[in-house]
């Protein structure tokens, strides 16, 4: 009889323990699922935030690139030099835009710097029948500021004509002829091609001595 009671008690305890263990397992599942759900949502939100930041950064960079290029192109296309000192009339903020454009779009930088200097030389030939000095260089190279915001430095960067070890005495506006001869593909840009043709026409007239009558 005693054994029967003990066996019954043992079975009852084992049944209760088994049920308790199952309840613990079920409780763990219940607690684990919400935590997993929260972690999943957090990861999604973080990815959306990071993607949003990256998208905004890319849009900002693209916008800045377009602004520099647009401002430079608009200025170069509308640039109408007058007289020998026309290069000095270019605002500093425009030269800064040219400087920024170097790193953003070197081809555009090359095209619009070329257009500026082609227009300048054409104006010098038209108004004064000759090229003009656009820069006097110091005899001591240490006295020249290669980083100064000037269109001459933009041309120097583009052309690589300025030897830091041996500076020339002067540059004239006619230096653009050398550049265009060495880079004829730039003439495919219609405004450059047009002003280059004007330069050739006027130069021929000056050479023949008949320009002065016009």
For the chain, domain boundaries: 1-64, 79-214
pLDDT(11) > 90: no
pLDDT(62) > 60: no
Q: By mean pLDDT, which of 17-31, 101-115, 149-163 is the weakest? A: 17-31
d(CA 66, CA 133): 33
* Beta carbons within 10 angstroms of residue 97's beta carbon: 22
pTM: 0.69
Give ∠ CA 163-93-175 in degrees, rounded to 5: 35
């Amino acid at each position: 009889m005693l054994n029967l009671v003990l066996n019954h008690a043992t079975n009852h305890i084992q049944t209760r323990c088994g049920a308790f263990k199952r309840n613990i397992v079920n409780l763990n599942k219940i607690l684990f699922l919400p935590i997993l759900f929260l972690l999943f949502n957090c990861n999604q939100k973080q990815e959306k935030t990071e993607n949003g930041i990256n998208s905004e950064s890319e849009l900002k960079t693209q916008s800045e690139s377009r602004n520099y290029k647009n401002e430079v192109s608009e200025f170069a296309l509308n640039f109408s030099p007058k007289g020998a000192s026309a290069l000095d009339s270019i605002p500093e903020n425009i030269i800064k835009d040219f400087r920024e454009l170097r790193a953003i779009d070197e081809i555009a930088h090359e095209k619009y710097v070329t257009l500026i200097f082609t227009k300048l030389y054409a104006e010098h030939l038209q108004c004064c029948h000759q090229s003009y000095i656009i820069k006097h260089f110091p005899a001591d190279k240490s006295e020249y500021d290669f980083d100064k915001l000037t269109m001459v430095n933009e041309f120097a960067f583009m052309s690589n004509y300025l030897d830091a070890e041996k500076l020339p005495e002067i540059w004239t506006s006619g230096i653009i002829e050398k550049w265009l001869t060495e880079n004829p593909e730039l003439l495919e840009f219609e405004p450059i091609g047009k002003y280059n043709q004007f330069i050739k026409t006027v130069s021929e007239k000056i050479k023949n001595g008949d320009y002065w009558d016009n």
